[in-house]
């Protein structure tokens, strides 16, 4: 695996490779786990060259402490990527990505007014800034994202449309721990007790899936929230049952063709998200 820190050197290498090979891209913020590896595997199966990036993007953190606390395990990440067969890793500095302050403001209509967008003001603008910048640098044929960040996927697809980019967005399924907890870089920050109780998040979503579509939407939502909040360490920030296309809440099962339950939970200072398709 080759490692690049400078855009100019990475682009020189990629322009050579692009003559005969397809380029796949897996952007990450590091602290890699099986979820990321599933993206690398998918990328390797669909593209000739797999490029991963590791950059903890400051502009997508609305909470400075969250940015400070975000796990950074660069050396281990390098070993994991190497073992997974990643071809190139791009590890830029903040100055390399943002030589000047990125002032761009994206308009995502209603997509970023709900759920994560409502509770993490400016988060998706920061995601769009960094992903568009990385796409501009890598110019991948395909880019791979996890379904766990359900709303992020919608935002990125919308951004690709707005900017007329040709990169195809490939969405990969959530990878879960054996007990059902969705894999996340933040899981390593949980205390033993928080980690034990965190299984209630996916269990509440699986309960919702079991009940749909026989039970009214609001009843399922209220009961799923109650189940999570019954754990002393957990507090639901939001649990919404939404139309997968518009991300707006539905009130009945006929309101949309694809319906997801999306949840964000505070486990002490750690924020966890998860989702499951109900219809
Ligand atoms: O999902 C993530 O890890 C980040 O939001 C991303 C897409 C790498 C942008 O910083």
CATH number at residue 221: 3.30.1300.10
Same domain, 128 and 249: no
Q: Is residue 96 part of a domain?
A: yes
Q: Is residue 278 part of a domain?
A: no
Same domain, 23 and 93: yes
CA distance 98 to 101: 6
Pocket residues: Cβ below 6 A from ligand 1: 27-29, 57, 60, 127, 130-131, 149, 152
Same domain, 50 and 16: yes
Same domain, 196 and 91: no
Q: What is the pLDDT of residue 198?
A: 98
Using the 3D structure, point to which of 139, 172, 205 is the last residue of a domain.
Answer: 172
60 CA: nearest ligand 1 atom: 10
Which residue's alpha carbon is at the smallest distance from atom 9 of ligand 1?
A: 127
Same domain, 88 and 226: no
Q: Compute the distance from residue 243 Cα to the ligand 1 centre, in Å.
A: 23
Is the separation of the CB atoms in 169 and 143 below 8 Å?
Answer: yes
Same domain, 157 and 234: no
57 CA: nearest ligand 1 atom: 10
Q: What is the pLDDT of residue 214?
A: 93
Q: Is residue 144 part of a domain?
A: yes
Q: Which residue among 25, 29, 60, 159 is best mutated to probe the pocket of ligand 1, counting the most ligand atoms within 8 A of its Cβ?
A: 29
Same domain, 210 and 263: yes
Is the separation of the CB atoms in 174 and 35 below 8 Å?
Answer: yes
Same domain, 121 and 79: yes
CA distance 63 to 145: 23
Same domain, 259 and 155: no
Which structural domain range is residue 222 located in? 185-273
CA angle (150, 86, 36) in 5-degree steps: 25
CATH, residue 160: 3.40.50.620
Q: Compute the distance from residue 131 Cα to the ligand 1 centre, in Å.
A: 8
Q: What is the pLDDT of residue 29?
A: 98
- Domains contained in the chain, number: 2
Q: Residue 123 class from Cβ within 10 Å (0-12 exposed, 13-18 middle, 19+ buried)?
A: buried
Q: What are the residue numbers of the active site?
A: 36
Is the separation of the CB atoms in 249 and 241 below 8 Å?
Answer: yes
CA distance 207 to 204: 5
Q: Is residue 14 part of a domain?
A: yes
Same domain, 118 and 195: no
Q: Is residue 179 part of a domain?
A: no
Assessment of whether the complete model's pTM goes beyond 0.95:
yes
Using the 3D structure, point to which of 172, 195, 226 is the last residue of a domain.
Answer: 172
Same domain, 24 and 149: yes
- What are the two backbone dihedrals, phi and then psi, of residue 259, each rounded to the nearest 5 degrees? -125, 135
β 234-243/2-4 pair status: unpaired
Q: Is residue 177 part of a domain?
A: no
Which residue's alpha carbon is at the smallest distance from atom 6 of ligand 1?
A: 28
One pLDDT digit (tens) per residue for the chain, 279 residues: 999 999 999 999 999 999 999 999 999 999 999 999 999 999 999 999 999 999 999 999 999 999 999 999 999 999 999 999 999 999 999 999 999 999 999 999 999 999 999 999 999 999 999 999 999 999 999 999 999 999 999 999 999 999 999 999 999 999 999 999 999 999 999 999 999 999 999 999 999 999 999 999 999 999 999 999 999 999 999 999 999 999 999 999 999 999 999 999 999 999 999 999 999
Q: Compute the distance from residue 245 Cα to the ligand 1 centre, in Å.
A: 21
Q: Is residue 83 part of a domain?
A: yes
Which residue's alpha carbon is at the smallest distance from atom 1 of ligand 1?
A: 28
Q: Compute the distance from residue 226 Cα to the ligand 1 centre, in Å.
A: 30
SS3 category, 28: strand
Q: What is the pLDDT of residue 135?
A: 98
Q: What is the pLDDT of residue 215?
A: 97
Using the 3D structure, point to which of 150, 172, 194 is the last residue of a domain.
Answer: 172
Q: Is residue 209 part of a domain?
A: yes
């Amino acid at each position: 695996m080759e490692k690049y820190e400078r855009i100019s050197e990475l682009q020189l290498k990629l322009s050579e490779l692009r003559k005969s090979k397809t380029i796949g891209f897996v952007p990450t913020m590091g602290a890699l786990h099986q979820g990321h590896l599933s993206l690398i595997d998918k990328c390797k199966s669909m593209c000739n060259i797999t490029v991963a990036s590791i950059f903890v993007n400051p502009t997508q953190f609305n909470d400075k402490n969250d940015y400070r606390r975000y796990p950074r395990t660069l050396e281990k990440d390098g070993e994991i990527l190497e073992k997974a067969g990643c071809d190139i890793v791009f590890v830029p500095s903040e100055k390399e990505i943002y030589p000047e302050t990125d002032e761009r403001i994206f308009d995502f209509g209603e997509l970023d007014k709900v759920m994560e967008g409502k509770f993490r003001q400016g988060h998706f603008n920061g995601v769009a800034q960094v992903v568009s910048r990385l796409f501009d640098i890598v110019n991948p044929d395909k880019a791979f994202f996890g379904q766990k960040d359900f709303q992020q996927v919608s935002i990125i697809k919308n951004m690709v449309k707005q900017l007329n980019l040709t990169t195809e967005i490939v969405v990969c399924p959530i990878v879960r721990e054996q007990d059902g907890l969705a894999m996340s870089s933040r899981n390593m920050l949980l205390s033993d007790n928080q980690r034990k109780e965190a299984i209630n998040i996916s269990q509440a979503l699986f309960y919702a899936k079991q009940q749909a579509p026989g039970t009214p939407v609001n009843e399922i939502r209220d009961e799923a929230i109650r189940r999570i909040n019954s754990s002393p360490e957990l507090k639901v920030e939001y649990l919404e049952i939404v139309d997968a296309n518009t991300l707006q809440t539905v009130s009945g099962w006929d309101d949309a063709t694809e319906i997801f339950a999306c949840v964000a939970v505070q486990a002490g200072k750690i924020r966890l998200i998860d989702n499951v398709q109900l219809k």
